[in-house]
Amino acid sequence: MACITGRQVIEESIRYSFVVPDVFARFLAPKGSIALDGVSLTLNEVAEAEASVNIIPYTQRATTLGDLAVGDVVNFEVDMMARYIDRLLGQIPGAQV
């Protein structure tokens, strides 16, 4: 689970900041992908286990993400490719994971 730590309205979009458990921080990368409550999104900024995404007006209307508030807990999934790469590197002797 991820916890919403910030909510900022920027023109018509909403920027959410959130924190994930430390064990998943290595899977977060700027412009990488993440899913929040099943909605695939692009990460804006990443700092350790905290990241941010922007929710455009269509996504606000078509999903429950527009109603999130600071302190809410959401389901998250990290990028599938990041998990594959992590797994592959873990199988290479001497590779840094």
pLDDT tens column, 26-65: 889 899 899 999 999 999 999 999 999 999 999 999 999 9
2-90: CATH number: 2.40.30.20
Q: Where are the alpha helices (DSSP H) in 1-97?
A: 57-62, 80-90
Q: List the domain boundaries for the chain.
A: 2-90
pLDDT of residue 96: 60
pLDDT of residue 6: 98
pLDDT of residue 57: 97
pLDDT of residue 78: 85
Entry pTM = 0.83
pLDDT of residue 76: 93
CA angle 63, 66, 70 (to 5 degrees): 130
